[in-house]
Structure 1
């Protein structure tokens, strides 16, 4: 065995040992968080939580690392550190103080006017995300995570992952259950293609439901669960906020029905609904 190979194996062994020790320390210092199976809270009043995810890319750590690198003042957790052990990623982050909005609404602790205030504060965060631009090397790619990889696929009910797609139109062809872009062209009007193609690519939180919105004193405290966030056409965010379902209902849902997103996003949202069988989110 040559010296280089010995060094490589030694480094791999040390890395495996370090990640094992990190994972073991996390297990000892944390406990399951309420009813969420993959979130653990830390003991000893340490204000951290850990998310356990059975994937090694497109993780919460990738998203938080990217978002904090932008310099935007966003109400999101701070990444403490992450490690991978046997194909599982452990993401340790600061715990956002407050209660998830869904629980607060179910208890009747939020009046409709408070919901409006919190929703507008979330809208302000979305406006900040609108300022982010894709790295030049990835320009044009969609359904792409912060790490440059695939994301859960709504066509397969999020049980599989797909992407990145080389263009907005390729993504919509997939979501419309067309075999390819050529088949989509047979059924979709050219004007619809133009509207979809004019929609800018933005960084989107695809599951911005009330249980991922943390509130405190009737104001937004933070937004969590960024692991499936990534680069999408901006109309994707409109779909996420206007699809009636658990966690997106009541006064929250009605706020986003009336809220006006940027003109290109609104136009592409309407255009996409002319051929989609179901919401893409």
Structure 2
């Protein structure tokens, strides 16, 4: 299904485009506006614009979906639209610091309080009932997006989790593998993929410490929902474990707020080794 724009009235679009053009002008550094990692531009104390080659309308719709169905703090989306092949999202600017920046200075008690909140948020995500007949797809039932996946960034949508897995391993079936000596673990990985699966769960897909905002001991924002959608039950865990090679310390924390799935992690490690970096 095609993702729809949100609140794309002409005058709002014109203001967003003007603000974006002004902020990205070569002399924009003279202004108080500034560009943040991930292509987010702060245009006021309360507003920001996201527009990158990877930005899709489904990201805006995922934030709206989460806001409607959970208590997870996400930026409020004011406007989202496509213009000349590029997507623009005008949204709330959440005041806070990334966990990646402040985690090492936190006390044990502070870390525990934050991790408890994250665990509750992940449980909320996993409790959302999937629509009937959805396999692996974005929030609108369309293609998922993840530039870390092998060969391409846009995948699907897939009618079943098994179809998604088959695409990830280039169509190879467990029965096609006769000799495991040259590719240890691949046959077991394919068998793991081909099993019967429960319904998909809604997944952020990039729970890096860079995408979690805090003020004090309160989690005030989960951002960067571009990879969000309906995925296999293990995907949140394995994605979070591998999300940011620069923050390897975060891997040890993931088990404290996402239920560990060691078999799935092993299978994903094998898949990444033989079929792609992620």
- Taking structure 2 as the reference length, what is the TM-score of the superposition? 0.75
Tell me by how many angstroms 1:60 deviates: 2.4
CA contact (8 A) 1:56 1:84 kept: no
Tell me by how many angstroms 1:27 deviates: 4.1
CA distance in 2, matches of 1:31, 1:59: 29
Question: Does 1:129 pair with 2:125?
Answer: yes
CA distance in 1, matches of 2:54, 2:190: 40
Question: Does 1:148 pair with 2:166?
Answer: no
1:91-106 matches, cutoff 5 A: 91-105=89-103
CA distance in 2, matches of 1:256, 1:50: 29
Secondary structure of 2:110 counterpart: helix
| Aligned CA distance change for structure 1 residues 149 and 210 (closer, same or farther; 3 Å) | same
CA distance in 2, matches of 1:196, 1:145: 23
Tell me by how many angstroms 1:208 deviates: 0.6
Tell me by how many angstroms 1:220 deviates: 1.4
Q: Deviations over 1:83-115 (max 9, x none)?
A: 32212111111112210111113xx43234422
Runs of 5+ consecutive residues of structure 1 not aligned to the other structure: 1-13
Runs of 5+ consecutive residues of structure 2 not aligned to the other structure: 1-7, 24-30, 178-186
Tell me by how many angstroms 1:152 deviates: 2.2
Question: Does 1:204 pair with 2:203?
Answer: yes
CA contact (8 A) 1:98 1:214 kept: yes
CA contact (8 A) 1:56 1:87 kept: no
Q: Deviations over 1:131-167 (max 9, x none)?
A: 112222xx2421x11122221254427x531111221
CA contact (8 A) 1:239 1:280 kept: no
Q: Which sits farther off after the overlay, 235-244 or 92-101?
A: 235-244
CA distance in 1, matches of 2:189, 2:81: 47
CA distance in 2, matches of 1:79, 1:113: 33
Question: Does 1:116 pair with 2:112?
Answer: yes
Match of 1:10 in 2: none
- Taking structure 1 as the reference length, what is the TM-score of the superposition? 0.75
| Aligned CA distance change for structure 1 residues 24 and 205 (closer, same or farther; 3 Å) | same
Of the two, which has the highest radius of gyration?
Answer: 1
What's the RMSD between the two structures over aligned residues? 3.3
Aligned length: 252
Question: Does 1:171 pair with 2:164?
Answer: yes
Match of 1:38 in 2: 39
Question: Does 1:88 pair with 2:86?
Answer: yes
CA contact (8 A) 2:125 2:203 kept: yes
